[in-house]
Structure 1
Amino acid sequence: MKGFDRIVLARLLGGEERLAEVLGPSCPIHDYDGGIVVQAGPEPQLGDINRGLVLDDYRRVSQALAPIRFEDYPRGLFVLGEPFDSLEETRKWIRRFD
């Protein structure tokens, strides 16, 4: 997965130090040559969005990065039959940790 550019990070999120404050110690930021990667928690975990169980670390990362999240899809990414709307289901997937 491609990381976040430091210029975008500084302009939109207040910089790496500010993002680290917002995320807290359970969501470390990792540097690499192209930018940063944000880790949501110490290890991958399962939640259940169908039952309203969104894990705190995932929610915190989602909320912190929401200002730079792309959501302007002209059409859905998922091919779904009736009664689903592909564009709306795509948006739900992108916002699933909010």
Structure 2
Amino acid sequence: MKYDLVSIGNAPVDAIVKVDTSFLEKFGMEEGALTVINAETRDEMLEALKDQKIDFISGGGSANVVSVLCSAGGKGAFQGRVGDDDNGELFIQSLK
């Protein structure tokens, strides 16, 4: 099969939740900035947000570009590695 675009990149899952500035400050984060965190910080943040509505969505620029291309009628493929877990399955399903 011939593709208009083949994209290779990360396969992250983003957590979207409304928080106030004090939450960001507690975890050393800035509004509007990308912050990569480790598993321990992730777990602490999720515990602090356990009563909040959190939306988990697939992310990553490479996959997003392919998704938009395909939505516009193009033929695209994404190459990336996902985990064998719920987030990996969420990412795979989001591209179908």
Per the shorter chain, which TM-score range? Answer: under 0.3
More helix by percentage: 1
More strand by percentage: 2
Output the TM-score relative to the length of structure 2.
0.25
When Rg is computed on C-alpha atoms for both structures, the one with the higher figure is 2
Structure scoring higher RCO (CA < 8 A, sep ≥ 6) equals: 2
Output the TM-score relative to the length of structure 1.
0.25
